Amino acid sequence: MNKFLAHTKDIRNDMLKEISQASLEDLFKQIPAKCKDFAIGNPLNELETQRKIRQLARKNKTEYACFMGGGVYNKFIPACVNYVAQRFEFLTAYTPYQPEISQGTLQVIYEYQTMISRITGMDIANASMYDAGTACAEAVLMAHRIGKGKKNKVLISNKINPEYSEVIKTYCWAQNIEIEWFEELPGNVSEYCAILIQYPDYFGEIPEVTKQDTILIVCANISALAVIKPPAEADIVVGDIQPLGIGMNFGGPHAGFMACKEAYMRQMPGRLVGRTVDAEGNQAFTLTIQTREQHIKREKATSNICSNQSLIALSATLYLSLLGEEGFKQTGIISANMAHALSKMLNGKGIKTLNKNFFNEFVIEVKDSKQFLDKLKKADILGGIRLDDKHVLVCTTEMNTEDDIVNYIEAV
């Protein structure tokens, strides 16, 4: 237990010597004097504190029309989603290590898996992932295992979300998997353990998905799958469930999804909930597969993921249950209609759309992207994501109204 004892005087001296400090006092001298006196004022009671906070909050400007996407979307969230998800039965610091006791949690995960499978057109889905970036990276590692490590290269589209690509690079570097990036697919892909594309891609374009002579991984916008064809030709489908009733949350926390063909089920990372019956014939749910190293031999483990994002997966399940198949499809249709209407009106003002086929995101070409977005912001509009000096990625969702579109056009 020596490692857990408090630092001794000798240990502290050694640490100070390592950072070239003579004493603790010398170490703390580096803190600017102004940081020691925050002038927070006199104590306030609860009522006075609430008034003070509201007064400060009014200084924030939050009522913007949002046309930003790029992986995080401004979606409508029914009030019931957060009401149920934040009930004490679900919102707890406790992890159900005896999962068979937690039938409610297991049933939610099972229903979530079923919904993801149906939306993606895959045979099976796991209990969720950390986010889309790690889901992409884990899918590459999964494909590498399926090929028994014989093919050590992966082919990845250069049109995937740049944040996802950074995560993939880290995972592949650690596993000595070589990455090759492509603009257009080469004719022969058999030497690669997998191909990874985004559908629609980061720039909003909907690529053609065709069966390949290797494992095909598709990172899909799950909202888009409400109205465009699910990538049934894929072997593994991944993505983010943020559009399913999860707030933007300043970029996180969110959660990823992973679904695949049944043949690859045992190479899927994370965990899988199954439905069965108990000794009395009653419906029961149980963890069917757990491929992490705490449960099986380390050399056979498929991932070091210790848990899924159950609470966020619960929110996604509630969202889909409340909207139903038709409601889910309707949100996608509204998002697409708004995007195409905005694109057409921008083209009418001489602002070119670079996409041929898109769902709810598209790239426009402008004279000065910074000036373009600054002008929109002055009109209380977050006009899109600046890609470079002349290009902006614009997105619409069901949260955008016809008035928002008109205001956008008038502001530019």
CA dist 376 and 238 (Å) reads 34
Phi, psi torsion values for 386, nearest 5 degrees? -75, 120
Instruction: List the structure tokens of 234.
Output: 């894929």
Q: Cα(128)–Cα(250) distance, rounded to whole angstroms?
A: 21
What pLDDT sits at residue 96?
Answer: 59
Contact 111, 293 (CB under 8 A): no
Chain centroid offset of residue 176 CA = 25
Q: Give dist(CA 78, CA 107) in Å, integer.
A: 21
Residue 340 main-chain phi, psi, to 5 deg: -70, -35
Report the first-to-last Cα separation within the chain, whole angstroms: 66
Could you give the CA distance from residue 125 to residue 128 in angstroms, rounded to a whole number?
A: 8
> According to the model, what pLDDT value does residue 90 have?
84
Identify the structural domains of the chain with CATH numbers, from first to last. Answer: 2-51 (no CATH), 65-77+325-411 (3.90.1150.10), 79-319 (3.40.640.10)
CB-based burial of residue 290 (10 Å sphere; 0-12 exposed, 13-18 middle, 19+ buried)?
Answer: middle
**231, 121 Cβ separation under 8 angstroms:** yes
Distance, in Å, from the CA atom of 185 to the CA atom of 195, rounded to the nearest integer, reads 9
Helix (H), strand (E) at residue 372: helix 369-378
96 cis-preceded (ω within 30 degrees of 0):
no
Cα 409 versus chain centre, distance: 30
43, with CB counted inside 10 A (0-12, 13-18, 19+), is: exposed
Tokens of 57: 């909050």
Concatenating the DSSP letter of every residue in 107-138 gives HHHHHHHHHHHHHHT-SEE-S-BS-HHHHHHH
35: alpha, beta or left? (left if phi > 0; alpha if psi -120 to 50): alpha
Contacts of 268 (CB under 8 A, 6+ apart): 124, 126, 142, 258, 260, 289, 291, 302
Beta bridge partners of 178: 153
**325's tokens:** 């198949």
- 246-290 tens-digit pLDDT: 999 988 899 999 999 999 998 998 888 999 998 999 999 988 887
Instruction: Report d(CA 241, CA 257) in Å as an integer.
Output: 6
Instruction: Give the Cα separation of 110 and 321 in Å (integer).
Output: 13
Low-confidence spans in the chain with pLDDT less than 50: 1
DSSP for 206-265, written as a single string: -------SSEEEEEE-TTGGGTS---TT-SEEEEE-TTTT---GGG-S--EEEEE-GGGG
| pLDDT score of 94 | 64
In the numeric block, which tokens belong to residue 26? Answer: 């010398």
The tokens for 113 are 């898996």
pLDDT at site 8: 85
Write the single-letter amino acid at 376: L
What is the model's pLDDT at position 1? Answer: 43
> What is the amino acid identity at position 204?
G
